[in-house]
Structure 1
Amino acid sequence: MDVLKNIVLTAKAIHSELSDDLKPPEEGLPAKSQSVVNMSLVRGTRGYIERVANQVNGAYENGWYDAAAVMLRRLIETLIIEAFEKHSISDRIKNSTGDFFFLRDLIGATINETTWNLGRNAKQALPKLKDIGDKSAHSRRYLAHRTDIEQLIPDVRVAVQELIYLAGLK
């Protein structure tokens, strides 16, 4: 009986040790590809922007399309806020309690902002990127597919690059 007990205890110890060793790193793994967000667009901006872009790519390459869409939505929201903060006009995208607007209103404010001249293609891209992120985050029965993301990749490029420049990050 002691032999069996020792085997069980040894197995539990090995399992515990392996569980910790097999976990992904605390801050995640680098994506293998740049299928959705070309990392050259975000490299050298802010660490949190680079990590969100990496998560978009990693989720996409693993077939987690809803996760990719939600992270893409987060990236756009972050870049819009960065642009307003760069120009010291973030008060234009906050409510009376000092909280930032929801993405719909952030996009509207970005498109209509006279401090800059947002390009026509970026104006068209932003609502599309919001739409897929909203569906993936809030629609119970919507499940994003690879083609849903793929068809938006040119819009991702245009919107991300333009917002990065407006935010003075490059």
Structure 2
Amino acid sequence: MLDENISGVLAKVKVLNDELRANNPPPEDTGHSTEQPIIYMSLVQGTRGYIEKLSHQINGTYENGWYDGCAVIIRRLIETLIIECFESKGIAHKIQNSTGDFVYLSDLISATISESSWNIGRNAKKSLKALKDIGDKSAHSRRFIAQRRDIDKVTADIRNVVQELIFLASLK
């Protein structure tokens, strides 16, 4: 009798959930994260809309426990900010291949570290490599599944690199 009641309640909850989802789908555009566990929005606010949206996605994936997604979007944000740095100085050609496409992240990082137009901090140099590593594992390793602690280990690196690159790109 109790099992029938529970089954009936669960079936009704499922119907209600399906109706709610049909009438209230996820937003068409990037939603706002409710917390700021990884990227402080004050760091990216007023920069570029796509940088703010990536930051919300990083925070949102972390909040929901989607750590591989979080790591991959962190990787994408770092790539984006590096490109912003070179574009802001009018030297984007230094990070493009012969067909005009931007080079891979490893080459972006090398170019960023060795660029004479700015002096990137020692800590940011180390942090770039750590962020590339977790992003690469989550994006390219079949058997690696990121966990919260993997992201937690690099939160200081994220803050350091994001703030440094935003300032080097003259976005703030």
Q: TM-score, normalised by structure 1?
A: 0.89
- Alpha-carbon offset, residue 51 of structure 1: 0.2
Please, which moves more after superposition, 18-27 or 145-154? Answer: 18-27
Secondary structure of the equivalent of 2:106? helix
**Within 5 A, what are the aligned runs for 1:1-170?**
18-170=20-172
Where does structure 1 lack aligned partners over 5 or more consecutive residues?
A: 1-13
Identical-residue share of aligned pairs (%) = 59
Q: CA RMSD in A?
A: 1.6
Change (3 A) 1:168 1:147: same
Query: Matches of 2:117 and 2:130 in 1, distance apart?
Result: 23
- Alpha-carbon offset, residue 21 of structure 1: 2.0
Query: Matches of 2:114 and 2:120 in 1, distance apart?
Result: 8
**Is the 2:75–2:132 Cα contact (8 Å) retained in structure 1?**
yes
- Alpha-carbon offset, residue 127 of structure 1: 0.7
Where does structure 2 lack aligned partners over 5 or more consecutive residues?
A: 1-15
Code of the aligned partner of 1:58? G
Query: Matches of 1:76 and 1:70 in 2, distance apart?
Result: 10
Query: Matches of 2:154 and 2:103 in 1, distance apart?
Result: 24
Code of the aligned partner of 1:101? V
Secondary structure of the equivalent of 2:117? coil
**Which aligned segments of 4 or more residues in structure 1 are displaced greater than 4 angstroms?**
14-19
How many matched pairs? 157
Code of the aligned partner of 2:148? R
Secondary structure of the equivalent of 1:155? helix
Q: TM-score, normalised by structure 2?
A: 0.88
